[in-house]
Structures are given as C-alpha cells and as structure tokens.
Structure 1
Amino acid sequence: MLFGTSVFFRISYFFTAFSPPIVLVIILNYNKHYKNLVLILFLFVILILSIYIRQKISRISKDKNHSQTFLINFDFDNDNSIDGYQIIDATKKPEVNGDFIKFAISILFPSFTSIYSSKLTLSFIIIILLFTLLMLSNETFPNIILPIFGVQLLNTEDGFHIFYISKNQQVLTGIKYLNYLGNSGPMSRTFVLTDDEYEKNRS
C-alpha cells in the first residue's frame, strides 16, 4: 500500500480510510459508559492524522528541491515523449477517489462481523489482517475522510497513485511535475502533484 512512503504515512492513511468501519465497531460493541469517550478519542486521532497527511502533501507539492524526473500529462494534445522524463498518462481512465466496492467492503465486512459476534476482538482482528495485507501489497483503499480536508487521490491506468490538494482544480491540466511522496525506489509509484507546469526550456 503506497509503496515508497513512510510506515507512519501508510498507517495514517489506513486508519483514516478505515475510520468509518472502526467507528461502527465502537458504536456497536462498546459499553455505553465508555462508548462516547472511546469515540471522541478515536475521532480526535483521525483528525490529527488527517491534518498530518494534508500538511505533508501540501509541503511536498511546493518543494522545488525534489528531483523531478516524472511528469504527468493531462492534455490529449501533448506529446508523451519528452526526453529525460518519464511520462505518466492521465488521459486514460483516471480515477479520483474511486473504487466504491473496496470502500463498501471495508465498511460492511467488519461491521457485519461485529453485529453477529459478541466479541469486539474479532472485528479488530479482521481490521488488523486487512491492514497487514494492504501493507504488503500495492493496493490502495479509497478514503472518504481525506477529501474533507482537501486531499484527493488520483489513480492512473498504469497503477500510479498521485495525491493533490483540491483547492485549485485547474492543477489537473497540461503537463505538471511530480514529486515523490516517499523514496524513489523501483516499486515507488506514489507521488504528489505540483502546480509547476512543464517548460520545454527547463533543464
């Protein structure tokens, strides 16, 4: 999940993405004397993690010191062969915060388990197993919490994951530079979109 990014970022993304089913599990299982306290504490943690993700993505998107070897093309009329850069084509079936089925499963499965089981532990074991599976794969789950904070995730047909801040939708035009969200290893396919337009005379 989001290979190349830090473990803390992946944990933050996972728990914000899975916050709806975890909230349901808390509501359905916890004793009424502790439910409100646990719920408030959990929502506070989700708020902190969401702010952390937004600030990190916003900072990286403005960092011009990154080694920018990737470009993303939103323009059908532009050439996809620019010397010295790897081009990610966003004109073929791009998805922004997509895949509702994964999101529905992430909510329904742990929730139904908690309804039919008297043990809270079982629901959390399932969530931990899903977390472990995702950490060892290149899959990403849609996240309905981050868009509230202005953070969007664009998935391309080639399997690249590109975060951007949605305050300016015009950023999804032309040819833009990308910054790695984490390291630049061969399996790293997670980037942050900059609003820095590609210029032919830029070296």
Structure 2
Amino acid sequence: MPRSKDESKPRGKLTAYAFFVQTCREEHKRKHPDENVVFAEFSKKCAERWKTMNEKERDRFHKMAEQDKARFETEMKDYTPAEGAKGRGGKGSKRKAKKDPNAPKRALSAFFWFCNDERSKVKADQPGLGVGDVAKELGRRWADVDEKAKKRYEEMASKDKKRYEVEIAAYKKKLAAPAKNGAAAEDEDEEDEEEEEDDE
C-alpha cells in the first residue's frame, strides 16, 4: 500500500553540495538543452569539480544552504502533520517496538557487507552527498561488482547468517527459561497444597 504523502509538509533543507549540483545541472541544461544526462557520470564530474574548488568558491553554496536551513526551520515551526499522514513523527506513524539491547545483531546481506567496505570510499570520492545519494551510488557500484568479489560478500553473508541462527536460538531459549521456571514453581505450589489436603 503506498504511503500517503503530506503535501503541506515543508520541503527538506538542502546541503551546500546539493545546491552546487543543482546549479551545475541548470548550467548544463542551458548549454546542452537536448542532451540526456547520465546521472552517475554527471555526479562524478560534479564531485571532482567540488573537490578542486576553493573555500571562496564554495562559500556562496554554503550561504544558500544556511538560508535554506533557516527557511526550513521557520516553516517547520508552523507545520502540523496532516491527519493520517505517514512518515517521521506524523500522526499516522506507527510506534516502533522497543528493541532488546541483549538481542543478537541480525545477519547482514551480501550487499550490506559490501556497503560496509565501500561507504567510506563513496564519501571520500563524493563529499557532500546526502544519505539517499550515497545509498544510490552504493547500489550502482554493487551492480558493477565482478562475480569473484560478489561471491566473497555472499560467503560473508552466509557465515553471518549461521552466526545469527545460533545466537538467536540461544537467545530465545534464554527468554523461555524464566517462563518455564515460573510454571515449574506453580506446579510445586499445587503439589504442596495437595499434600496438605491429604494430611488433613
């Protein structure tokens, strides 16, 4: 079922790097209106250009980001989530059940093992990327990974799955133990009562 979007919610704030990419895209559209842009390549070129810029050149984008942050904060003060709107903190959002800190960590998929290795590289190659854009880039890189490397990550995932299965079984057993002990104590109480009745 699609998530109902709150149309009245203020547009999210942009980073200095996001304003820079937006400006680059607008410049490119003006110079080459009919050209189809391959986002991955364009993003890479933007990141390279951003790296070579000095602080004075970046300053205008930082100012744009500060203004946008102020705009967002002002709009959020007057914002009330629409009835039934889902999302972070909306009235229709479900409360997450509290997670037991003693529960074993879930097993990671091959893709997540890959992300653990590559995330820092993506951030170094393209500083200023938002969380969503980093995830997109990781997804693109995963699609280009050769079979040998993919197999290594799949083996890591398989090993981690076995680790999780062993740990979760032990954890569930541990949770069930106090309940069994309680039931055993009740049985003993009942036996004592029966013995007392027999004595009478």
Q: Tell me if TM exceeds 0.5.
A: no
- The structure number with the bigger radius of gyration is 2
Higher helix share: 2
Q: Please report the TM-score for the alignment, with normalisation by the length of structure 2.
A: 0.26
Q: Please report the TM-score for the alignment, with normalisation by the length of structure 1.
A: 0.26
Higher strand share: 1
Select the structure with the greater relative contact order (CA < 8 A; seq sep ≥ 6): 1
